[in-house]
Structure 1
Amino acid sequence: MASGATTAAANIGMVVAKRPDKPGIEGKVVELKSNFIAVSPKFKYPSVHYYSFEVTDSRRKKAGKKDSQKVFEQMKLKKKFGVNAIPVFDGGQVYSVKQLDIGHKKETRNHAVKVPVDADGSGREKDLKVEIKYQGEIDLSPIGEYVKKGSTRTWDGTIQSNLTVLNAFANNKVRLSFLSVGRKAIFPPARDNRPIFLSGGIEMKQGFYQSVRPGWGTLTINVDICATTFYPAGPIIDIIPKIVKNKWDRNEKSRDELRRGLDRREIDCLNRFLRNVMIFVTHRDNRKPKHKVSYIDSQPADQARFKQDNRDVTIAQYFKETYRHTLQYGRLPCIVVVKPDRSKSFFPLEVCEICPGQRYEDKLSDDARREMVQKTAIKPWERFDRIETAIKDIFQHKRDENLRSIGMDVDPEFIKVKGRVIQAPKLNNGTDITPEGGRWDLRRFIKCTRLYNWSVMVFENRNSAPLEMVRNAIKQLCSSLSERGMEVYPNPPIEYGNPQGGYDKSLLLAAQRARITKDKPAQLIVCVIQRKVLGASGIHAIIKRICGTQLGVISQCIVANNMKGPNPHRWKQICGNISLKINGKLGGKNSVLADRELNFGTNKPYMVFGADVFHPGREEKGRPSVAAVCASVDKTVTRYVGRHSMNRKIKNEIIENLEGMAVELLNQFQRANNILPFQIVFYRDGVAEGQFQHVVQKEVEALKRAFDRVYGENGEKGQKPQLTFIVVQKRHHARFMPVQKVDSDRSGNCRPGTIVDTGVVVPQEFDFYLQSHASPLGTARPTHYHVLLNEANFPVDAIQTLTYKLCHLSARCNLTISHVTPVHYAHHIANQAKHFVSWDGASSGRSGSSGGRGGDTVPNTTKCEKMKSEIENEMFFV
């Protein structure tokens, strides 16, 4: 690359787009209530002293977060920081406006602290040591400058550091008072004190979240409700029925049924649930020692034996003789605890209780996830009522001594902002369509494909999915496709797969049978599968991998249960939705934006990108991340081509091979249009504020290198494109609700197309919230868009309306979606491509090793399969 290009790329990260001087005016103005409250503008932004706070046990091993928190509480209670000191602790550092009483600034103080047993009497006293060392002062004035109107300051590490300090002061009191997760979420006891259980015995807790955020001319505090999952605290005997309950069982096991013991499936289920969970035992009189579960024994307590004084005794005998405890559930197995010296302890389940406050971090089942969504979906007015109650009764900012110590006064009233509801675009499928409430009826496709070479493979036994039922269901699918304009071969061959012989063989057979016309390859394999195997490692993933990376055939999965039932109208509706996907996958277009709706400010060719990175969960530590990029290749921005790649560095948020994927997509655009794009709008998902500068520097630089390779370093093949780079954030806690009922939709939410770009954002940065979708069940979450690069000089209205219109073009549904279509597609590509990785690292999480750390690289033996050339430029991901 030429030196000039290198210099330009190096400077990219220094220039982040500013909000245009002319504000947006498009749309109807509405008054909205936000879940933000304002910090008084009189706040002085003082300097704060900060200290390291390292807690170790008698073996000099670093203590956990809970023990460190307890040490801080004990020291504060006993005035060890000074008689009048009001320090706060965020789990890592201690902060104080006044210098703490630890002597000279450079001095290190060591304290011995005795931590008492837990409030429920479990655990044991611990003698811990803490080392406190002065680190310096943090000046909070930068964030004061950052939120000022007319400021030119951009987000950087200093602003992030200031917010960390301010959040420590705002959240310290409630974190000490209630169960907390992270630094910002708390879970007070439920009013009725009744736990909420999900499938599999997991407990869901509902709580509150608050975070100090920059606003328009002042700081704000964002307060919201939240929910997460925990292991249920209490006697394991009471929880077993919920853990082992089969979803097909109508009732949970009774205590009498538990006395008969558990079968092998139930023991395995219990074993998976309890492994590595902390418990305490209750048979030791006044002591309740804690242990970590290693596994569940396969034998019941009245049969499992061990040697004692040269005789064989059962666990049940031992407890009766030693502790005078006659087991009531002797037929149940024991918890086994393997000690560091490899010796084992056996504890009957009836003397064990799960310690409170342990998060359940494994992946939820489909049923549990669905239940959690249902239980947390509440209407906007109820959400805001709960938040208002929490502000008054739980957070009580006016009475918070930590906020007083820093001089932060908070107005408990919700901030009201002016939003704008922009008009929905007109769509066209041969005639103009006007969406109503974020949805529209689509009876015909504007461009249809011909479906001749296809087959159906049933991965379900004939009793559950008889041939006649499948044939009738496929007949209805053919009818739905035909009604929307597709030419369809109506009698595709139907085969029953044999998973024992290998899915690849069954799918190869389906591909061979799909060639109705012998001179053309298979177009589509429809796979009928069981719902219960739709998970990450189930048949759904296997089908996508084999069809995409080995056979080069597009697949469409259908859940067998959807074909059944007494209501044929439901299956007809499902066929309508499947028809949208099939037409999109095979190269058709369901609908497009009407003429003159797309406005890129130029008559020259344009291209829209979407990008996302899939990161593995906690249970897959060490597994590589997979990046996906897709891009439009037609002027209606409805046909997309996707690419995926594997990041070599563990937990790397940056798309490492962005340059290579961008080159491929630009070349594909040129092949499709005989010209290269003049303008590119790039939507990037999954980036936090603290990563903005890094992403702009690395990924925009990679895109510029790709432009050099495709257009020529001096633009020999045409003028290099203007790049607009926009970050898309979905994981945040901002919510809005119309003040006047007349401005809301039926569910009480803002209407689709609502824009917020004042009040709760900073004046100088080009960002906005857009609620593009309807949310009939709960409170809609808007998407937060940050324009980081604006080489095309898009005005505010132009980028906001373009973004909203791009939410109407998903081929998967006839609804406006919650974020732009290219990001929606990139997410689906990454979600499929994660199964294309042949990963030989040890699985981890609760059941395995520690896995890789951020910054480590995956072994060279780790590979990521590519899509076959036959379909890599098709919309297989729809």
Structure 2
Amino acid sequence: MPPRARGSTSRGNTQPARGAPARGGGPARGGRGGTAIALGGAAGQPGLPVTHVAAVGIKRTAFGRAGKPLRILTNHFPVTEPSGTVRHYDEISPSNKILPVPFNRKIIKAMQDGHPEMFKPQGSYDGRKNLYTMHDLPFGNDDQGNPVLSRIFEVYLPDDAPRGKEQKPKRPFRVKLTRVALINLEPLVRFLEGKKTYDPDMQTGINALDIAIHMAPSLLYPTNGRSFFTSQETRNIGGGMELWRGYFQSIRPAIGRMLVNVDISTGMMFKPGRLFDLCIDHLGLKPGDYAALSPARGMPDSKRLQLRHFLMGVRVQVEVDTSGRPIGDARPISGLSLAGASQEMFEMRSEQGGQMISVAEYYRRYKNRTLQFPQVLCVRLGRALIPMELCYVPPGQVMKRQMPQDKANDVVQFATMKPPERLASIRRGLTILNYGQSQYIASFGLQVSEAPVQMTARQLAPPRMRYAPGSREPMITPKGGAWNMVDKKFWNPATIKYWAVVIFERPNRFREDNAASTVRGLIEAATACGMVVHDKNPLVDYANGQGNIHQQLLQIGIKIKQAKNELPNLIVCVMPDQSADLYSAIKHFGDITTGVATQCLKSSKCFRANQQYFANVCLKINGKLGGVDRVPDPQSVPALTDPANPAIVMGADTMHPAPGATGRPSYASLVASVDSHACRYIAQSRVQVSRQEMIADLKDMCKHSLDMYMKSPYRSAEERARKKAPARLIFYRDGVSESQLQQVLDNELTQIQEACKELGIDPKITLFVVGKRHHTRLFPEDPRDADRSGNCPAGTVVDNVITHPVESDFYLLSHGGLLGTSRPAHYNPVYDSNNFTADDIQALTFALCHNYARATRSVSIPAPVYYADIVCARAKHHYAPDAHLNYTETMTQSSDQAAATLRSFTDLFKPLHTQTSRTMYFL
């Protein structure tokens, strides 16, 4: 639906007139976003913010109305209205030691238990620096009669207390509490009602409430962020790891009230038990073969280093007596010995003679323990060397590292739950959370309902899709978020002129008849889709996946040049299943070096491939060669296809190195449409400072994209005749958190506007932030409304009840479910000078989820966002295979080493080949 001017309405939505200030931005951004929009009175529509309230993004002026009503349940649970004043205490340790969060919690719990007259009820603690109470802690008065706001406590943990006259206690932990703020919760309540502008104190109040609901389970269960895990449901996945089922919880502001979001989560844990068994399991050795952990018995140093990397930080308890039980606090492993306990020597203290002694001999002589496996490695706990056979791994240690690639399927299978099962598990989780029995929640005067929020969502109508006129069904309407390619021809089919099939498998594994079947299947599928295949007998050749990939592919191109007097425009590569390095080398050859389109196929897929498989491959090949599979019907998406207001659509994303990696850069990507249907895209990627979220070179990237759009031959003649420059710029930004919305407006929106200004154009800009990493789930209340997977149907949109009290965010479940419970995408429209209505924005976003060229189904996020994510991930192919860069995800380096490594990544980053840069090479 085209935007309306003020005075006309679209389904009840009132919008500012053309030329009025853009929605979003607010006066805080120097007037860039204009003034707040009136709703026709303070009441406006129930649930909408009043006139004077400002917003970071676009303030909600109306709710969407399009679509069929649909009753749903959500995994949000109402909380009673908070009230009173929160006391914020800052907790510091005078020794400035950084202790693990669980240990900090033990200290604070012991402090509060030891002073019941002062901490009644007990305060809520975040594990680091902040403690919140609803009453002043009675620290007494100073000489002038003023209340004291700070006090130092000396805290002994229960295990540290003296147990006899001769036994001295350990030194106490010193904790200093200082009251630093008073937070009145009344403004937060007014914010929930849409009657007050957000301010930072409200976030502190929300943080206090959030910590209160986490406090009780954090003392009982292992935690990771806002999730905690129980051993009720576990799965051993090998490699020294197991999975635990857990629960995520977070308190969030919503329209008129606070809600607790509860969801299922999965924790990867180190396998508990004897450290021996953990190591054997991780290395894939025979159970009980402990001698294999001995360098003297042939353990290679590479395995020792692998084990050291895996064990770093794992906390172990040590068996210090003959009872066979570990006692005392667990301590983290900081390294491994170079030799076994019988060979690893150390110097005794001077009072013990100062002689050199082996670890095994020390334990025999001074601990009365003869080691059963003296040749096995020792672990280092601080400065002490402890024989591995005496160490035990306590249960519930969360593995806070990147998930190993070979365990991804195990995690997915364990985490996948059908919607009814997930909702039932969430409800069971409430009994574990036991909100009603938590003294910390009660101290804030909160009550959490056990009934999930019920509400009315809407199911949007899908856009119609057009195929070529020669198709049996040239116009289709997706059903359940999917359709098929049967009897359909591509809207703009590409031509495969000269091509080759290169097989990186052994001939006895992938025989000539398999190759012939693959060629035949590709030709038949391409022809059925309307593509033109000139060469029905392409060159088929075998290559060595361990050899020089560039030279082998180059020689194949030369063979075709000599035979056909023209270079190929496509090389199809058949590869083994595990071939990441080979894939990277092939993509570098095509995308960076030569500009020849490449398509990789797994040999295992080709063995049993049917026509549907090859048709799906052709979806990618057609786009890579400049074709377009299908386009949306213009009447379905007028915001995209109005010739009087031509639109360019952009998607941007950033990708960061894994946790713990230093020196690795971050990558930024931008994709932009260059046709009249927002179906044909170009892409760019850049290197930038590690973990920097804002895109540093966005202005230059936008200028290039806009220039390519204005020069593009793929725009309609009518559109080009009316207006060369885009009238609308629709920008989807992925990968930023809700707390970074202001940064996007201040930094990235400014760069977009500067790019337009430098090109002398002035498109109306609409900027969205897309969120995928959230825990909101939607469940159909009536099973008859569910799709075949049990999920809400594709097109389910929610912009009420569980959304932001002031801003116009919404959740959209744009895809049909396949496995488990589908996750809707969360959209924050943060700037809009196009003055789109709520229904316009939601319909536009839903339509773009149908433009993903690699599939005949709608996807979970708009196609340009999906493409930007892929382009980021492919940035590592911009390096020559022989560049010898360190891609280890968890390497650690000094700051100087990290800076040098970053410079290497930046200097060696190669731009796309000119030919590739004009195509959708990333499909």
Under TM normalisation by the shorter chain, which class is it? 0.7 to 0.9
Question: 2:532 aligned with 1:532, yes or no?
Answer: no
Question: 2:788 aligned with 1:755, yes or no?
Answer: no
Q: Deviations over 1:760-779 (max 9, x none)?
A: 01343111111011222201
Percent of matched pairs sharing the same residue? 28
- Count how many residue pairs are aligned between Structure 1 and Structure 2: 834
SS of equivalent to 1:618: coil
Q: Deviations over 1:628-667 (max 9, x none)?
A: 111111111110011112223x322111111111100000
Structure 1 unmatched runs, 5+ = 246-251
Question: Match for residue 63 of structure 1?
Answer: 99
Question: 2:617 aligned with 1:617, yes or no?
Answer: no
Farther-moved stretch of structure 1 (547-556 vs 636-645): 547-556
Question: Match for residue 397 of structure 1?
Answer: 435
Question: Match for residue 432 of structure 1?
Answer: 475
**Aligned partner of 1:399: which letter?**
Q
Correspondent of 2:493 among 448, 452, 470? 448
Change (3 A) 1:305 1:457: farther
Measured after TM superposition, the shift of residue 287 of structure 1 is 5.3
Question: 2:217 aligned with 1:174, yes or no?
Answer: yes
**Aligned partner of 2:287: which letter?**
S
Matches within 5 A, 1:424-573: 424-430=462-468, 431-443=474-486, 444-488=489-533, 489-498=535-544, 501-513=547-559, 515=561, 520-534=566-580, 538-564=581-607, 568=608, 570=609, 572-573=611-612
Distance 1:80 1:487 in 2: 82
SS of equivalent to 2:578: helix
Measured after TM superposition, the shift of residue 117 of structure 1 is 5.1
**Aligned partner of 1:145: which letter?**
R
Change (3 A) 1:125 1:189: farther
Question: 2:253 aligned with 1:209, yes or no?
Answer: no
Question: 2:266 aligned with 1:227, yes or no?
Answer: yes
**Aligned partner of 1:232: which letter?**
K
Question: Match for residue 665 of structure 1?
Answer: 705
Distance 1:262 1:557 in 2: 40
Question: Match for residue 98 of structure 1?
Answer: 135
**Conserved in 1, the CA contact under 8 Å of 2:187 and 2:196?**
no
**Conserved in 2, the CA contact under 8 Å of 1:71 and 1:113?**
yes
**Conserved in 1, the CA contact under 8 Å of 2:667 and 2:685?**
yes
Distance 2:270 2:557 in 1: 46
Question: Match for residue 154 of structure 2?
Answer: 112
**Aligned partner of 2:592: which letter?**
T
Measured after TM superposition, the shift of residue 262 of structure 1 is 7.5
Change (3 A) 1:51 1:231: same
Matches within 5 A, 1:186-265: 186-190=228-232, 195-245=234-284, 253-255=286-288, 264=300
SS of equivalent to 1:862: helix
Question: Match for residue 684 of structure 2?
Answer: 643
SS of equivalent to 2:65: coil
Change (3 A) 1:323 1:739: same
Question: Match for residue 693 of structure 2?
Answer: 653
**Aligned partner of 1:35: which letter?**
N
Distance 1:130 1:696 in 2: 41
Farther-moved stretch of structure 1 (856-865 vs 71-80): 856-865
Change (3 A) 1:167 1:359: same
Distance 2:860 2:591 in 1: 28
Distance 1:528 1:13 in 2: 52
Farther-moved stretch of structure 1 (758-767 vs 547-556): 547-556
Question: Match for residue 471 of structure 2?
Answer: none
**Aligned partner of 1:74: which letter?**
A
**Aligned partner of 2:31: which letter?**
N
Change (3 A) 1:842 1:492: closer
Distance 2:60 2:123 in 1: 42
Change (3 A) 1:96 1:303: closer
Question: 2:445 aligned with 1:412, yes or no?
Answer: no
Q: Deviations over 1:404-457 (max 9, x none)?
A: 222222222111111011122221213112222211111332221111233333
Measured after TM superposition, the shift of residue 819 of structure 1 is 0.7
Distance 2:498 2:34 in 1: 53
Question: Match for residue 89 of structure 1?
Answer: 125
Change (3 A) 1:277 1:640: same
TM-score by length of 2: 0.83
**Conserved in 1, the CA contact under 8 Å of 2:687 and 2:906?**
no
Q: Deviations over 1:186-231 (max 9, x none)?
A: 112316xxx4122523222211111111112111111111112122
SS of equivalent to 1:198: strand
Q: Deviations over 1:773-808 (max 9, x none)?
A: 122220111011111112111111111111111111
Change (3 A) 1:577 1:314: farther
Change (3 A) 1:291 1:461: farther
Measured after TM superposition, the shift of residue 699 of structure 1 is 0.9
**Conserved in 1, the CA contact under 8 Å of 2:700 and 2:755?**
yes
Question: Match for residue 12 of structure 1?
Answer: 32
**Aligned partner of 1:188: which letter?**
T
Distance 1:467 1:319 in 2: 65
Matches within 5 A, 1:740-819: 740-819=782-861
Measured after TM superposition, the shift of residue 467 of structure 1 is 4.7
Farther-moved stretch of structure 1 (657-666 vs 601-610): 601-610
Distance 1:847 1:616 in 2: 10
Matches within 5 A, 1:591-630: 591-600=630-639, 602=642, 603-630=644-671
Question: Match for residue 78 of structure 1?
Answer: 114
**Aligned partner of 1:539: which letter?**
L
Distance 1:873 1:691 in 2: 32
Distance 1:177 1:873 in 2: 56
Change (3 A) 1:425 1:112: same
Q: Deviations over 1:343-397 (max 9, x none)?
A: x73624x322224443323332333111111111101111111111221x22222
Distance 1:222 1:339 in 2: 40
Change (3 A) 1:854 1:85: farther
Change (3 A) 1:399 1:258: same
**Conserved in 2, the CA contact under 8 Å of 1:56 and 1:128?**
no
**Aligned partner of 2:921: which letter?**
F
**Conserved in 1, the CA contact under 8 Å of 2:121 and 2:443?**
no
Measured after TM superposition, the shift of residue 259 of structure 1 is 7.3
Measured after TM superposition, the shift of residue 180 of structure 1 is 1.4
Correspondent of 1:679 among 728, 732, 739? 728
**Aligned partner of 2:550: which letter?**
D
SS of equivalent to 1:414: coil
Question: Match for residue 747 of structure 2?
Answer: 698
Distance 1:298 1:129 in 2: 38
Distance 1:571 1:315 in 2: 63
Measured after TM superposition, the shift of residue 585 of structure 1 is 1.2
TM-score by length of 1: 0.87
**Aligned partner of 2:92: which letter?**
E
Change (3 A) 1:847 1:805: closer
Measured after TM superposition, the shift of residue 693 of structure 1 is 1.1
Distance 2:132 2:29 in 1: 39
Change (3 A) 1:867 1:259: closer
Question: Match for residue 248 of structure 1?
Answer: none
Question: Match for residue 191 of structure 2?
Answer: 146
Question: 2:629 aligned with 1:590, yes or no?
Answer: yes
Distance 1:23 1:148 in 2: 16
